Amino acid sequence: MNRPKTGSEPDPWRAPVIVAQIPDTGVHRELEASAAERQAMADLASLREILSAQASFEVVPKSGGRYQVTGHVRARIGQTCVVTLDPIESEIDEEVDLMFAPEAEARRLADLIEEGQDDREPPEVVDLPEAIVGGIIDLGRLATDALFLAVDPYPRKPGAVFEAEIAAPDPEDHPFAALKALQDKKKGQ
């Protein structure tokens, strides 16, 4: 998942789960971002503020060293209306359902799909597994990514409508008006 990072900023909301410590029955995690984490996320995403951010995840082992992560991310964010420039608040409730695989397998699958693309046919949509990096699945980063992807880039206050100002063109106001004036002046001499 990509997010609006501008450099090598650290992940603002971290909640690592070590996959080697996940039992066969899986694990459940409830997360809530602290005020400092919410502020760092808001800065990273260029939001006015993040008033609250919670996540609930189930991490279940699957065959071949894979792990399925399902859950919800909920947040309340402060933005600025693109029409009125008034502050507004928005609710985010995003479902998450991702498969994670060991880093080498995720890379191998991505390479196979890239090699199999034929320029003559449209590519099939394939959900590749996310890579398990360093034996860890970071649920905080996953929640942050889900939150960022759900943000409306053009938020509007309810009922706000952009109305372009329409003015009738002035017949004397065009690029060649000065030339016409010179021509008229020359004719009058």
Does 61 reside within a domain? Answer: yes
Instruction: Report the pLDDT value the prediction gives residue 178, as an integer from 0 to 100.
Output: 72
Question: How many domains, the chain?
Answer: 1
SS3 71: strand
**Whole-angstrom distance, CA of residue 17 vs CA of residue 59:** 9
Give dist(CA 73, CA 154) in Å, integer. 21
Q: Is 2 domain-assigned? A: no
**Which residues, given as ranges, of the chain have pLDDT below 70?**
1-9, 115-126, 165, 167-172, 189
Number of H helices, E strands in the chain: 4, 7
Residue 183 inside a domain? The answer is yes
Q: Which pLDDT does position 55 carry in this prediction?
A: 98
Domain-embedded: residue 66? yes
Residue 179 lies in a domain: yes
Residue 4 lies in a domain: no
What pTM was estimated for this model as a whole?
Answer: 0.73
Residue 8 lies in a domain: no
Is residue 10, in this structure, part of any structural domain at all?
no
Q: Which domain holds residue 112?
A: 16-187
CA distances from 69 to 118, 129, 138 (A): 31, 11, 11
